[in-house]
Amino acid sequence: MSRIRFRLRAFGSFLYDFVVGDDWRIALGVVAALAAIYGLRHGDGVDAWWLLPVTVAAVLAVGLWRVVRKTTPRKSG
Amino acid sequence: MTTGALFLAVFLACAVEAVEATTIVLAAGTARDWRSANTGVLAALIVLAALVAGLGPALTQLPIGALRLFVGALLLIFGLQWVRKAVLRAGGYKPMHDEAAIFQEQFGAAQAAEVQRRGRVSDWYAFTLSFKGVLLEGLEVAFIALTFGSNQHAITLAAVAAVTAIVVVALIGFAVRAPLSRVPENTLKFVVGVMLTSFGMFWGAEGAGANWPGSDAALLVIVPAVAAFAGLLVLALRKQATGTLVVAAENAAVGGAA
């Protein structure tokens, strides 16, 4: 039983790494933007194609900014 | 999308993955046993072929809207991860992918491991190293070929592009018997990341019900726009990296003086 659980967990971890990768915020942003486009289109009839490029630019820039912030040393003295 | 663009996108993506797989197989074969390494490659290719044969027809059965939404979302997430890594590498925040260094690392580890025979495989380590390498890199190849192909109802063309890339890279790799460190892998990954992101964005939004201005012609704006934005991010990161070095040097000087 524990062996099956171990293998399932390993497969889940592989799948997460394969699809989501290093930054889960990217996946979350993409899914949220697509859900919003779908909702706006089918609910209010709004054609929000522009939402995806805006989201892509934002998640990419924010994700990179987080890496830069982590690796930049603070000025001392 | 023209068939040429589909072929190019899949070919480039698959070539990059094939270069990485070739390095692993070369390390397993050179350091250990070629027969076991080749058996590992064959076993991985059989698993991949079964996966493609099973998933390919299933994907084409989905309604086009749902297919584009699902595939677009996956491609976009995948593409953004590629672009993110490529920008970090080009900006100096992540080490460049170095096939020669990876080969040396794999080669050293392979030489140190003990020889173990299992069934018909004379060297289990060489077999598993090559099997895992080809399967993991091949999964990305299969994913890209299937998603691009199914969306354009051109799975055969996408498969031909993928197989051509693999054959070309494998032939060159085994002819020179050395890792393909001269292939501009980091640049290729940047280009592929831009293409995956652009097509993912286009199909994802269409699948969700949006209509791009200009329809398919919108791709002629999306692809260069994504490339330009990623290029700007690289410039910004390089500038920041230079500033970081200055601050680190100043801190070192202050620390030394104190």
**What ipTM goes with this model?**
0.88
Distance CA B236, CA A72 (A): 14
Cα–Cα dist B187/B192, whole Å:
9
pLDDT beyond 90 at A27: yes
Q: Is the dihedral of CA A32, A38, A44, A49 positive or negative?
A: positive
Q: Out of A19, A51, A68, whose CB is closest to B77?
A: A19
pLDDT at residue B256 greater than cutoff 70:
no
Residue A17's nearest CA partner among A31, A27, A7 is A27
Contacts of A24 in chain B (CB under 8 A): none
Look at residue B204 in the predicted model and tell me its pLDDT.
94
pLDDT for res B210: 94
User: What is the pTM (predicted TM-score) of this model?
Assistant: 0.78
Confidence bin at B253 (pLDDT 50/70/90)? low
More confident residue, A48 or B178: A48
Name the band, by pLDDT with cuts 50, 70 and 90, for residue A33: very high
Who has greater pLDDT, A66 or B4?
Answer: A66
Q: Which residues contact B47 (CB under 8 A, 6 or more apart)?
A: B135
Tell me which of B114 and B12 has the higher pLDDT.
Answer: B12
Q: Is the pLDDT of residue B249 over 80?
A: no
Q: Bridge-partner residues for B5, per DSSP?
A: none
CB B91 within 8 A of CB B237: yes
pLDDT score of A8 more than 70:
yes
Please tell me the distance from the alpha carbon of residue B162 to that of residue B143, in angstroms, as a whole number: 11
From chain B, the residues in CB contact with A23 under 8 A are 81, 84
Contact B198, B230 (CB under 8 A): no
Work out whether the CA dihedral A35, B61, A18, B154 comes out positive or negative.
negative
CB within 8 Å: A60 and B233: yes
Cβ atoms of A21 and B60 within 8 Å: the answer is no
Optimal mutation site among B80, B235, B251, interface A, most CBs of chain A within 10 A: B80
Interface contact flag, B205 A42, Cβ < 8 Å: no
Distances (CA, A) of B147 to B24, B69, B70, B72: 26, 11, 9, 8
Question: pLDDT grade, residue B140 (50/70/90)?
Answer: confident
- The chain-wide mean pLDDT, for chain B, equals 83
* DSSP, res B212: -
Secondary element (H or E) of residue B63: none
pLDDT tens-digit series, residues B17-65: 888 888 888 888 888 888 998 899 999 989 988 888 888 777 777 788 8
pLDDT at B93 over 80: yes
Check CB contact under 8 Å for B77 and A20: yes
**What pLDDT is attached to residue B255?**
63
Query: In this structure, what are the phi and psi dihedrals at residue B180, rounded to the nearest 5 degrees?
Result: -85, 65
Q: Which residues, at least 6 apart from B161, have a Cβ–Cβ distance to it below 8 Å?
A: B6, B7, B8, B10, B11, B14, B145
**Looking at the partner chain, which of B139, B225, B251 has a beta carbon nearest the beta carbon of A18?**
B139
pLDDT digits (tens, 9 = 90+) for B215-235: 888 988 999 999 999 999 999
What are the residue boundaries of the structural domains of chain A, listed by start? 22-77
Task: Please report the pLDDT score of residue A42 as a whole number.
Answer: 92
Contact A30 B255 (CB under 8 A): no
Q: How far is B176 from chain A (nearest CA, A)?
A: 31
Closest approach of B186 to chain A, Cα-based (Å): 17
Mean pLDDT, to the nearest integer, of B205-221?
A: 91
- Answer yes or no: is pLDDT of B258 > 60: no
Mean pLDDT, to the nearest integer, of A3-22?
A: 82
pLDDT at B67: 84
pLDDT band for position B101 (cuts 50, 70, 90) = confident
